[in-house]
Structure 1
Amino acid sequence: MQPQAVIFDIGNVLIEWQPERYYDRVIGEERRRAMFSEIDLHGMNDMVDRGNNFRDTIYDWAEKSPEWRDEIRMWHDNWLELATPEIPHSTRLLRALRTKGIPVFALTNFGIESFDFASMHYPVLAEFDRRYISGHMKVIKPEAEIYEMVEADCGLPPEALIFTDDRIDNIRAAQDRGWQTHHFLGPQGWADCLVKARLLTEEEAR
């Protein structure tokens, strides 16, 4: 079935999300490895993605580990440096789809405040026809409920949706719902997928 709507993840699909890279640069790889082994920073971020307050969650987490307090607070204070740069080819693909009148949705694990902040810096985040932001939905990928909520809201059958995400667990959860999927490893592969699905021509997908 030809897809009737295209769904983009955001982190590492439209915008690079590389906290480890940021900390390697700022505190060095050795200290970063030590911190990440002692503290579940991605678990902390999951709380934000579930709708908990961005600053309060991170600052509270920092107080639990005073030896890493300043470094943990960087997750909030320097957040944009963890989520950069934009991936230009992916942005072009999104805009090419919308130019052709193909509905384009976002389905992303993202906090409420952090998404608002990111939207100020990345105009492309305002260009979706529908945005499914986990912080507002209070559930994150790859939990089945978030995919069910997308289906219920957009009114399209699962097989009419094509979804790309950089995390294979999120892709498998979508496949379990019957969605068409593409595991994002880079924008060219996603472009080729959209051409194969007859949504874009090769020229439009450049």
Structure 2
Amino acid sequence: MPIQAVVFDIGNVLLEWHPERFYDAQIGPDRRRALFADVDLHGMNLGVDRGDDFRSSVYGLADQHPEWQDEIRLWHDSWLQMAAPEIPHSTRLLRALKSNGTPVFALSNFGIGTFEIACKAYPVLTEFDRSYVSGYMQTLKPEAEIYARLEADCGVEPGHLLFADDRSENTKAAEARGWQTHLFTTPDGWANRLVHEGLLTDEQAK
């Protein structure tokens, strides 16, 4: 089916997202491994992505683990350093699609507070035609609800959507609904897919 809209995940598609890398640089790999073993930071972050308040979630978890309090608070206080850097090639692809008149949507697990921070730092995140952000929607990928709500809101039939995400469970959930998908590993691979679909020329995809 011809593609009528392209859907981008954000983390590790438009922005790198590697909390472990950040903590390795801050406290060293050994202490980072101990921290992540003792404290469910990713579980806390899923709550933020579902709509929990960003600061109170991080600081509340820190209060529960006084031995790691300073390190846990970094998740809030230095969050932007974890969501970095931007992936420039992916940004160029998004803007090339828009310049060709292809609607471009975001579908991302992202907190309300963190998304607001990211939009100020990365203007590309404000350039989507429509944004479907889990914190505002209070549902997460790969839950069926978030995909269904995108379909209902945008008016594009599932088979005419092309969705890029770096996590296979998220692309598989979309495929189950009839979406066309791309498992993102590199921007070059994504560029080749967009050219293959006839959405960009080779020159535009550079």
TM-score by length of 2: 0.99
Q: How does 1:126-145 map to 2 (within 5 A)?
A: 126-145=126-145
Aligned AA (1:21): R
Corresponding residue number in structure 2 for 1:20? 20
Measured on the aligned residues, the alpha-carbon RMSD in Å equals 0.5
Structure 2 residues not aligned, in runs of 5+: none
CA distance in 2, matches of 1:168, 1:64: 33
Q: How does 1:31-50 map to 2 (within 5 A)?
A: 31-50=31-50
CA distance in 2, matches of 1:35, 1:68: 7
Structure 1 stretches of 4+ with a deviation exceeding 3 A read: none
Instruction: Give the match's secondary structure for 2:101.
Output: coil
Aligned AA (2:37): S
Corresponding residue number in structure 1 for 2:107? 107
Instruction: Give the C-alpha shift of residue 38 in structure 1.
Output: 1.3
Q: How does 1:1-206 map to 2 (within 5 A)?
A: 1-206=1-206
Deviation string for 1:28-81 (max 9, x for gaps)? 000000111111111100000001101001100111111111101000000001
CA distance in 2, matches of 1:38, 1:50: 22
CA distance in 1, matches of 2:68, 2:152: 43
Instruction: Give the match's secondary structure for 2:46.
Output: helix
Aligned residue pairs total 206
CA distance in 2, matches of 1:61, 1:147: 30
Instruction: Give the match's secondary structure for 2:124.
Output: helix
Tell me if the contact between 1:9 and 1:106 (Cα under 8 Å) persists in the aligned partners. yes
Instruction: Give the match's secondary structure for 2:141.
Output: coil
Instruction: Give the match's secondary structure for 1:174.
Output: helix
Deviation string for 1:107-164 (max 9, x for gaps)? 0000001100111100000000000000000001111110001000001110010000
Tell me if the contact between 1:8 and 1:107 (Cα under 8 Å) persists in the aligned partners. yes
Instruction: Give the match's secondary structure for 2:85.
Output: coil
Tell me if the contact between 1:2 and 1:198 (Cα under 8 Å) persists in the aligned partners. no
Instruction: Give the C-alpha shift of residue 2 in structure 1.
Output: 1.2
Aligned AA (2:114): S
Aligned AA (1:80): L
Deviation string for 1:4-46 (max 9, x for gaps)? 0000000000000010000000000000001111111111000
TM-score by length of 1: 0.99
Aligned AA (1:178): G
